[in-house]
Amino acid sequence: MIQIETGWLLLIPIFFGLGWLASRWDLRLEARQDERERLKQQRSTFKGLNLLLNEQPDQAIETLVKVAQLDPETVDLHFSLGNLFRRRGETERAIRVHQHLANREDLKPRDRDHAAYELGRDFLRAGLLDRAEASLNQVGAGKYAIPAKESLLEMYQVEKDWKKAIIAANELQGLQDKSHQLEIAQFYCEIAQEALRRADFPEAEGAIHHALSAIPNHARALILQGDFYLANERPQQAIDVWAIVARENPAYMHLVADRWMAAHHAVNQVNLGLDQLLALLKTQAIGELLDIVHKHMMQIRGAQAAEVMLVDVMQHSPTLSALSKLAETRLALAEVTGPETRVADLKSTLGLLKQRTTALARYTCGNCGFRARRFYWQCPGCNHWEAYSPRRTEGAVPSGPSM
């Protein structure tokens, strides 16, 4: 009896061994199946890439999308593919790839945000702004929250939707350690300028107030506040706020000098207004302010006084513009006193000088180097705010973009 029981006991390790062998066999079968699957996907991926290289992008997308359905590991490949299409300007294809990713149920939240962000960029590139906005707004809080918000901010500025731009800039400030107050002040200034154009004074006043809260004594906001007062027949108040610009940001005074004179005219103080602009010329003679002061000088005090002023300017801040204005003034004097030969001489000198100053006098963006004849608060080249120096210069003709 005891012998039989011992015999059975001996069988136990044998069964164990057989079980172990069977499980190994099963694992090997499974591994072989996985390997076959992997090779199949690899072949499909290669086929997709091959189609791509053979300039058959649509078939390539079909094949690669199928691979992605089988293998979630190819997500990165798809992002690269979508971005490649977008960079090549093939936005429709980029949208198809990114849309496919965004629709996948098995995507991790981080990849889903990434897909929504890329899709938003595609729609932006395609000019489908409503869809871009919807897609970018789907991006959750994570790695893509800041770039998505930055894209939205960029988009609202292109659309000139300043109210939404203010909200986006405020949200962006909450997400990153960077102030957007300067842009916010400019957005409010855009709203104020538009409201002043429509004579919507309550809206203009509110926007100016917000701009000045964002950046106290902001030059553009103060200029607009003066415009608001002047439009409401309060010239003295206009003069008072513009005097702050003259004191704090004199380089911007050329933007308001004509209205400054109009306001002084309204309070019967043209000479006081002109004297204050003349005082500014000591430091601000390089640029447009000189042209404006010269114009008013000719009208109010005549050509002789204008000539004295320009000779003085030429001594401390010689520029082609000042020389041109001097020739213009001397021509006006010679036309009265003669002789004929001097008039002819001055005319040819003036013609030459005007040609050169028109070709050279430009405002230059400090960010991208874009040069423009008129001053811009936002650079048309790179869209940066307050990147233009308020001083017009007469540098050599650059090779960069200009208008």
Contact footprint for Zn ion (CB under 5 A): 365, 367-368, 370, 379, 381-382, 387
Q: How far is the CB of 367 from Zn ion (least distance, A)?
A: 4
Q: How far is the CB of 383 from Zn ion (least distance, A)?
A: 7
How is residue 212 written in tokens? 């000045």
Q: How far is the CB of 370 from Zn ion (least distance, A)?
A: 4
Nearer to Zn ion, 121 or 371 (CB): 371
Q: How far is the CB of 146 from Zn ion (least distance, A)?
A: 22
Exposed/middle/buried for residue 53 (C-beta within 10 Å: 0-12, 13-18, 19+):
exposed
Residue 229, number of CB atoms within 10 A of its CB: 20
Nearer to Zn ion, 250 or 381 (CB): 381
Q: How far is the CB of 256 from Zn ion (least distance, A)?
A: 23
Specify whether the CB–CB gap between 139 and 116 falls below 8 A: yes
Q: Which residue has the tokens 């030429």?
A: 314
Sign (positive/negative) of CA torsion 22, 25, 30, 33? negative
DSSP assignment of 248-288: H-GGGGGGTHHHHHHHHHHTT-HHHHHHHHHHHHHHH-SSH
Specify whether the CB–CB gap between 260 and 277 falls below 8 A: yes
Q: How far is the CB of 299 from Zn ion (least distance, A)?
A: 36
β-strands 371-372, 363-364: how paired? antiparallel
Nearer to Zn ion, 24 or 374 (CB): 374
Nearer to Zn ion, 314 or 368 (CB): 368
CA atoms within 13 A on the CB side of 187: 25
Nearer to Zn ion, 266 or 368 (CB): 368
Nearer to Zn ion, 83 or 367 (CB): 367
Nearer to Zn ion, 286 or 365 (CB): 365
Look at residues 117, 180, 108 and name the one whose alpha carbon lies nearest to residue 144.
117
Nearer to Zn ion, 57 or 381 (CB): 381
Alpha-carbon distance 255 to 273, whole Å? 15
- Which 8-state DSSP code applies to residue 72? G
Sign (positive/negative) of CA torsion 135, 136, 138, 143? positive
Q: How far is the CB of 186 from Zn ion (least distance, A)?
A: 14
Specify whether the CB–CB gap between 142 and 175 falls below 8 A: no
Look at residues 194, 193, 192, 170 and name the one whose alpha carbon lies nearest to residue 183.
170
Q: How far is the CB of 160 from Zn ion (least distance, A)?
A: 18
Nearer to Zn ion, 237 or 378 (CB): 378
301-to-10, 276, 326, 379 alpha-carbon distances in Å: 126, 15, 15, 37
Q: How far is the CB of 82 from Zn ion (least distance, A)?
A: 29
